[in-house]
Amino acid sequence: MEKAITKLSSKYQTTIPEPVRNALKLGKGDSVLFEVTNDEVRIKRARPVDIAYLSALNGTLDEWAGEADEKAYRDL
């Protein structure tokens, strides 16, 4: 397993290390997808289907955004 380390800038930006870019075959302008599970994050090259899915999903995420919903579901 190859490992690479990078630092965050003051704006929380980072450079994707060369070994990672090579492994994912990333080029300028490519999109990346982060999959977060508990304390682990996987990075993948985003495919057009990933981008379309996440764009469509984004519009549905404010469904339970009100104070009444927050109160009702707080203890779940």
Residue 65, pLDDT above cutoff 80: no
Q: Using one digit for the tens of pLDDT, what is the confidence trace for 10-64? A: 999 999 999 999 999 999 989 898 999 999 999 999 877 767 777 777 777 666 6
Give the DSSP H or E segment for 42. strand 40-45
Total number of domains constituting the chain: 1
Cα separation, 14 vs 31, in Å, equals 14
Give the DSSP H or E segment for 41. strand 40-45
Domain for residue 12, yes or no? no
Domain for residue 7, yes or no? no
Domain for residue 69, yes or no? yes
Domain for residue 22, yes or no? yes
Domain for residue 45, yes or no? yes
Q: Which residue has the higher pLDDT, 33 or 76?
A: 33
Domain range for 30: 18-73
Cα separation, 65 vs 41, in Å, equals 26
Cα separation, 39 vs 23, in Å, equals 22
